[in-house]
Amino acid sequence: MPVKAFSKSVGIPPKRLQPYVEAVRGMGVQAALDALRFLPSPAAAKLGKTIKSAAANAENNLMLDIDNLIVANAFVDQGPVLKRFRARARGRVGKILRHSCHITVVVDERGA
C-alpha cells in the first residue's frame, strides 16, 4: 500500500529541485537517502527530509519494513510566489519573484 508525505511551501524553486527528484525516483529509500546525504545542496536536504517522513509514516502507520521500501513516485509542484520589488533608477521598479514549491513523495513496498 503506497504511503505519502508532503512538504508544503518549501522556499526553493521547483526548477532547482527537479533534478534531485528525478534522480531518486524508483530507488530504494535507504539508497536514496544515502545518495542525497552527500550532495551539497539545501534542495537535496529538503528532499531527504520528505523521504524520511514518508518512510516513517509507512513504518509507524502501516507497520512496513523500511528495508523493503522504494520511492515509488516523487514530484514537485509550484508553490506560492512572493512578489517583491526593488527601486531602480529614474523612479522605476524591478520585480523580484521568490518561488517556492510543494514536494510530494510516495513510498511503497518492493514488488507490490
pLDDT digits (tens, 9 = 90+) for 5-50: 999 999 999 999 999 999 999 999 999 999 999 998 999 999 999 9
pLDDT > 70 in the chain, percent = 99
93 falls in which pLDDT band (50, 70, 90)?
A: very high
pLDDT of residue 112: 59
Report pLDDT for 111: 74
Q: What does the pLDDT read at residue 110?
A: 84
d(CA 112, CA 110): 6
What DSSP assignment string belongs to 42-92? HHHHHHHHHHHHHHHHHHHHH---GGGEEEEEEEEEE---EEEEEE-GGG-
> Could you tell me the domains of the chain?
3-109 (3.90.470.10)
List, in order, residues 6 or more apart from 100 with CB less than 8 Å away.
Answer: 9, 10, 11, 12, 13, 79, 80, 81, 82
pLDDT of amino acid 70: 95
Angle between helices 29-37 and 14-24 (to 10 degrees): 130
